[in-house]
Structure 1
Amino acid sequence: MNDQISKLAQIADAPSRIIIGLMSGTSMDGLDIALCKFTGMGLETTVELLQFTTAPYEKQFKEELKAIAFKKEADLQKVTLMNAVIGSYSAKLILAALHKWKYPAESVDLIASHGQTIFHAPISLHKLASFPNSTLQIGDGDHIAVETGIITLSDFRQKHIAAGGEGAPLAIYGDHLLFSSNSESRILLNIGGIANFTYLPAGRNAGQLFSTDVGPGNTLMDQFVQHRYPGKYYDQDAALAKSGTVSETLVRELMNTAFFDQPFPRTTGPELFNLAYLRAAQKAAGEEELSNEDILASLNEFTARTIIGAIRNSINEQDFVIYLSGGGMHNPLLVQKLSEGLGLPLRDTAELGINPDAKEAVLFALLANECVAGGQTDFGSRPGMPNITMGKISLPK
């Protein structure tokens, strides 16, 4: 047997595993690195978050990413080059984090890398009858494995699509294992660039699990700030939005898209919700002269209404607790609107034992744990949520 396959078998057989989870979202501001200890598998999984950091991306690297991300037309040579560059850059950031934590790379069993999404194309978006759902994440796993010396799993979303899903959202596969409760119905609401949530009914009944993208989380607000305020990446503490006035006509026009008429579950991304979308809505609403603050106030309101509407329209149960994660949980105006609109206080996943900023990176580490050591969990039979393990394995040698 190949020595590396033998090592992988030993890792799979061990009672616990040290796994690094990596996540880089649509904001493209940095790489989340979560050092985790997993014990067990399936519904018996427990995880200890040993270390976590977000390694900020260098400005030039961010500009290179933005040149190819979420565009129908991109420089194919640049896409090819960045596939390798992102893998190598991720390896560099991992090794730097391990050095800072004084944690030897030899003690890490696996790396789980989400990669960088550069285009998400479900059928509902591309509308080409002869083509399937599709998505593309770059940041080659072989580069990470070779340059760190650690077995790496990557490209998780392709298996989901191959098995009949849309490649998103994947959080449900981890949320069910880590956060389901016998006594409490929970909604795990993640507000990243795109907002999504997982519904976990009390009783851990796999047949009732539900997960969907909602629509824009931070993406429109962040894109607008970066466009209008060079050097700023987001509306810190919602200071700009708080000083503006909501335009109801603009909000109504922002809601006027076929995406919100699609049945749940559904997926989306910045390919739809971008500055061109905003400009078209402003023009249709006759609100092209709004101040920056009024636009941000309206975008904040738009995000809140889409999240509130999605939860109300897809979840019949009334007695549930919402746990937040993602960058949007740090937007106080958005959180206030959500709490008022849903009529209940909002908690975060720290109460469930996971740093909410680390949650997505931890979940991809969990997917790697399931791929090598689990794979027996029943996730029900809902359309678009196949019972599969995910991740392509890259060996270091």
Structure 2
Amino acid sequence: MNVHLSDLARIAAAPSRIIAGLMSGTSLDGLDIALCEFTGSGSETKVKVLHFITMPYSQQFKEELKAISFKTQVELQKVTLLNAVIGSYSAKLILEALKIWGYQAAAVDLVASHGQTIFHAPISLHQLEPYPNATLQIGDGDHIAVQTGIITLSDFRQKHIAAGGEGAPLAVYGDYLLLSSTDENRILLNIGGISNFTYLPGGKNPDLVFSTDIGPGNTLMDQFVQLNYPGKYYDQDAAIAKSGTPSPALVKALLAHPFFEQSFPRTTGPELFNLSYLQNAKEVSGQLALSKEDTLASLCEFTAISIVTAIKKAIGDQPFKVYLSGGGMHNPLLVQKIGEGLGFSLNNTADLGIDPDAKEAVLFALLANECVAGGQTDFGHRRGIPGVTMGKISLPA
């Protein structure tokens, strides 16, 4: 037997596994790395987050990613080259993080790499018959495995699509296994570039659990800041948005898209919610002369309303709590508006034992653990959450 397959069998049968989960989102700001210790699988899964760090991307690397991300037409050679570059860069950052933590690569059983999404194309967005749901994450897993010497799982979203889902969001698996409650209805709200939530009804009935994208999280606000405020990548502490006043006409136009009428679960990305979307809404609402401050305030209002509306639609009249994660939880104005819209203050996943900044990286580590050591969990029969194992396995050289 191949020695690496023997290693994989040993890792799968071991009582615990050390897995490094990697996540890089649509904000393109850096690589989140969560070093986790897992015991068990499925409903018996336990995780301890040993270390977490965000390794920032260089300015040049950010610009290269932006040049190929979320565009219908890009230079194919550039995509091909960056697939290898991102894999190698991820390996470099993993090794740097391990050195910071005092870990040898040999002490890590698996790497779970989400990769970098450069285009997400569900049928609801592309509407091209007879083409199926599709998504593309780059950052080759073989490069990570060879350069770190660690068995690597990557490309998780493809199995979800092959089994009937839309490739996103995948948080439902980890949220259900790690963060559901027997007696509390929970909304696990993640505000990244795109906002999404997992609905976890008390009682842990898998047939009632689902995860869905909501719409824009940080992406429109970040894109607008990057275009209009050179040197800034986001509105830190909502300082700019706080100085403006939302335009009701613009907010109404931003909300007037068929996507928001779609049933749950649904999925989207910056392919839809981008500066062209904002420009069209400004034209429709007659707000082309709106100030930058008022525009950013309007985008924050739009994001908050879309989140509050979706949660209320999903939960109905039941009592529930909201637990936040993702970069948007650091936007105080956005969090304030969501809380006001729901009528109560929000918690974050630290209250459930998971660092909210690390949550997505932890969840991909969990998917790797489930692929290698689990795979028998009943995730219910709702559309969009096929009970499948995800991740392609790359072996070291």
TM-score (norm 2): 0.99
Structure 2, unmatched stretches of 5+, are none
Q: Map 1:1-397 onto structure 2 (within 5 A).
A: 1-397=1-397
Distance 2:157 2:256 in 1: 29
Distance 1:144 1:242 in 2: 42
Show CA shifts across 1:270-321 (max 9, x none).
Answer: 0000001101110111101111100010000000000000011122352111
- Partner secondary structure for residue 290 of structure 2: coil
Distance 2:166 2:210 in 1: 14
Distance 2:73 2:140 in 1: 21
Amino acid corresponding to residue 322 of structure 2 in structure 1: I
Distance 2:264 2:174 in 1: 20
- Partner secondary structure for residue 68 of structure 2: coil
- Partner secondary structure for residue 377 of structure 2: coil
After the TM superposition, list the runs of 4 or more consecutive aligned residues in structure 1 that deviate by more than 4 angstroms: none
What is the total number of aligned residue pairs between the two structures?
Answer: 397
Distance 1:382 1:41 in 2: 22
Distance 2:122 2:317 in 1: 29
RMSD of equivalent CA atoms: 0.6
Distance 1:289 1:15 in 2: 62
Percent pairwise identity: 73
- Partner secondary structure for residue 294 of structure 2: helix
Distance 1:390 1:75 in 2: 29
**Superposition deviation, residue 264 in structure 1:** 1.3
Distance 1:317 1:376 in 2: 33
TM-score (norm 1): 0.99
Amino acid corresponding to residue 352 of structure 1 in structure 2: L
Distance 2:256 2:316 in 1: 24
Distance 2:68 2:317 in 1: 42
